[in-house]
Amino acid sequence: IARKLAHEIKNPLTPIQLSLDRIKDKLKNDENTLQHFTIINNQIHEISKLVNGFSDFARMPKPVFKKNNIIQIINSSIDTYRLNYERVNFVLNNMTNTNDIICDSSQINRALTNIFKNAIESIEERFEKGGVNGEIIVNISNDNTYYLITIIDNGIGFKEAKNFKQDDPYFTTKKDGSGLGLSIVSKIIHEHNGQVFYDNREDNEGAFITITLQILNEENINN
């Protein structure tokens, strides 16, 4: 139902955009009218982003569990951003005594890249306010059953950390965000029988996200 709804909403956006562009060309000398077209165009863009995000959330497949290396997955997620954000320093503190995990590596990678993306955007917003260079620290440790992964950034933090609902697919602390990124993270981690927690750092210099993931799940292996 969600996929169909997203598709039906997105369909009319293309002809609306095309018609808008044609009208805009004919009235390009009317500056006052063009300002209204800019507003309409921006709103079409925002609707399109929301629909795409909702569609991605709705079509996520069931995880396929296989034996993987959790450190390789984390490093792969970090490498997605490391080279493109020179002002953000990534630190991985590996305190584990094993790297094996039964998981869907592509989905865990997607969850982590969503988290890193949010952290970078938070850091960049702090840059705009004159903040120092960014830092994202990833700490991973384990006991006999779970990995504990904590991702810490020095961005602006969650504006309403004590009140938000992390499973609400529309929760967001960003002015242009849909909130679907955090919901996708929660969905992936919960389907891996893990948990995810969000909060601000005590020094108010950023935020942290903590994830627990089972190391080995015999039920998933057997399936």
pLDDT one-digit tens code per residue, 67-108: 999 999 999 999 988 888 888 999 999 999 999 999 999 899
Looking at the DSSP bridge assignments, the partners of residue 210 are 150, 197
pLDDT one-digit tens code per residue, 174-186: 544 445 578 888 8
Write the CB contacts of 139 (distance below 8 Å, at least 6 apart in sequence): 93, 95, 148, 149, 150, 152
CA–CA dist 111, 117 (Å, integer): 10
Query: Distance of CA 173 to CAs 156, 157, 166, 181, 218, Å?
Result: 10, 9, 11, 11, 38
Q: How far is CA 22 from the centre of its chain?
A: 35
CA–CA dist 207, 166 (Å, integer): 14
pLDDT given for residue 163 in this prediction: 43
pLDDT one-digit tens code per residue, 4-15: 666 677 777 777
